[in-house]
């Protein structure tokens, strides 16, 4: 089921231009939550950017991907109400995914968050929310990180934990999504809860 989300991902339109907020009134754009599945794979086509290295507030994890984590971001991520009928898809936090190199990684929702947290990234029409997100291999250039739009859909604000699996190693990362993790400040206003 697809559900509209208003006002999200306008910065990911690919136009590369922005207008000062003081001269352009806010315009609500409709966005659709992708369908849900247990496992989804990143479509590596059409990244929104390429960079030499991720910058704050993103944390590189095992040199394979970078996410906005509670360790790298002083404040929790903002959330926006989706208007979804499904309570597990009530809130959305927009955050990019940086992908490096030609290796495969996985991002997994921990069992204690199952049914309450889903994720997706990508810039094509083949997006799907998932509990397990497979990343790469995307390219072989060791000097470039490619960036994709997406984020976290969840039932309630919280400090969530994900596992990043790369090269046989699991790394647990925390993300303040609508509510801070220990050591983080609250999300910038406005943030729906």
Q: What are the pLDDT digits (tens) for 71-128?
A: 999 999 999 999 888 888 899 999 999 999 788 999 999 999 988 999 999 987 766 7
Share of the chain above pLDDT 70, in %: 79
**DSSP label at residue 15:** -
Say if residue 158's pLDDT is above 80: yes
Smallest CA-to-CA distance from 128 within 41, 3, 29 is with: 41
Look at residue 65 and give its three-state secondary structure: strand
Calculate mean pLDDT across residues 31-55: 79
Which CATH number does 58-184 carry? Answer: 2.60.40
The residue to which tokens 């790369």 are assigned: 166
Which are the contacts of 23, defined by CB distance < 8 A and separation ≥ 6?
A: none
Q: What pLDDT does residue 12 have?
A: 36
Q: Any idea where the domains of the chain sit in the sequence?
A: 58-184
């Amino acid at each position: 089921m697809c559900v509209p989300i208003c006002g999200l991902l306008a910065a990911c339109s690919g136009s590369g231009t922005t207008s000062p907020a003081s001269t352009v009134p806010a315009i609500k754009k409709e966005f659709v939550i992708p369908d849900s599945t247990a496992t989804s794979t990143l479509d590596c086509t059409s990244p929104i950017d390429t960079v030499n290295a991720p910058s704050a507030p993103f944390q590189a994890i095992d040199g394979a991907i970078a996410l906005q984590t509670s360790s790298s971001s002083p404040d929790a991520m903002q959330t926006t109400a989706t208007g979804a009928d499904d309570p597990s898809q009530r809130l959305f936090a927009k955050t990019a995914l940086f992908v490096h190199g030609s290796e495969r990684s996985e991002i997994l929702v921990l069992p204690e968050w199952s049914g309450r947290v889903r994720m997706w990234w990508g810039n094509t029409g083949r997006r799907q929310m998932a509990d397990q997100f497979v990343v790469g291999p995307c390219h072989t250039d060791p000097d470039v990180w490619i960036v994709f739009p997406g984020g976290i859909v969840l039932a309630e604000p919280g400090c969530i934990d994900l596992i990043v699996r790369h090269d046989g190693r699991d790394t647990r990362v925390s993300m303040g999504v609508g509510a801070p993790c220990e050591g983080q400040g609250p999300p910038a206003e406005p943030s729906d809860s």
